[in-house]
Amino acid sequence: MKKVAIIIPSTPKKALFELLRSLQGQLYKQLIVQLEGTTPGEKRNLGVSLKNDDIELLCFLDDDLILKDNFIEQGIKQFELGNYDFAQSKVIGGVENAKNKFTSTACWFTVKAFFDVDGFDEKFRFNEDIDIYQRALQKGFNYGYLDKSIAWHPEIGMYENLIASNKRLEVKHPSLYKQLKKEIR
């Protein structure tokens, strides 16, 4: 089984403690809660810089998720069976998974794939996950959807606002931006 580091970009808030409670008893090698940094991408990249040398798989979680009891084990199992380079877990509720496969608050990368795409673009204030997924696909990395690795995301109604207001996404990935805008109408 691959050794996984869980990386959570965060600010101290109640939701973070709910996520940490849901991680109790799950199998992972290292947990990094990154509080420093100004954007989620910067926090995620800083978190990766703190990982142990033996880590093979990175799991990035937003700090307002609640995980099913077997989230990590199922994620690793499906990731390995699919021979994926990057993937997203199934997220129920809120803004995830229903509209576009490139949006996730629970994404996984091999260390190699993460560094080959130069990590998260730290200039994005949000939607940095959509950007990194696009770059990984453009480089030919194998994408997977981990439907047995399940999290709940209670934040509802933000997806449309995040896509509609993201000019950086529009500039870097114009065709994807148009597709996403069309889907949210």
pLDDT of amino acid 14:
76
Residue that the structure tokens 């950007």 belong to: 131
Report yes or no on 74 lying in a domain.
Answer: yes
pTM of the predicted model, to two decimals? 0.81
pLDDT of amino acid 84:
97
Residue 67, domain extent: 4-155
pLDDT of amino acid 179:
61
Rounded-to-integer distance, Cα 63 and Cα 12, Å: 9
pLDDT of amino acid 100:
45
DSSP calls for 46-108? HHHHTS-TT--EEEEE-TT-EE-TTHHHHHHHHHHHHT-SEEEEEEESTTSSSS-TT--SEEE
According to DSSP, residue 25 is labeled: T
Report yes or no on 65 lying in a domain.
Answer: yes
Report yes or no on 166 lying in a domain.
Answer: no
User: What does the block give as tokens for 37?
Assistant: 């940094």
Inter-residue contact 101 to 54 (CB < 8 Å): no
pLDDT of amino acid 124:
84
Report yes or no on 105 lying in a domain.
Answer: yes
Residue 61, classified by CB atoms within 10 Å of its CB into exposed (0-12), middle (13-18) or buried (19+), is buried
Rounded-to-integer distance, Cα 165 and Cα 40, Å: 17
Report yes or no on 53 lying in a domain.
Answer: yes
CATH number of 47's domain: 3.90.550.10
pLDDT of amino acid 119:
96
pLDDT of amino acid 184:
44
Counting the structural domains of the chain, the total is 1
Report yes or no on 58 lying in a domain.
Answer: yes
pLDDT in tens, 56-103: 999 999 888 889 989 999 999 999 999 999 999 988 775 544 434 555
**Which residue numbers in the chain have pLDDT < 50?**
96-100, 156-159, 184-185
Dmax over CA atoms of the chain, in Å, equals 45
Report yes or no on 77 lying in a domain.
Answer: yes
pLDDT of amino acid 99:
39
Report yes or no on 91 lying in a domain.
Answer: yes
Rounded-to-integer distance, Cα 115 and Cα 112, Å: 5
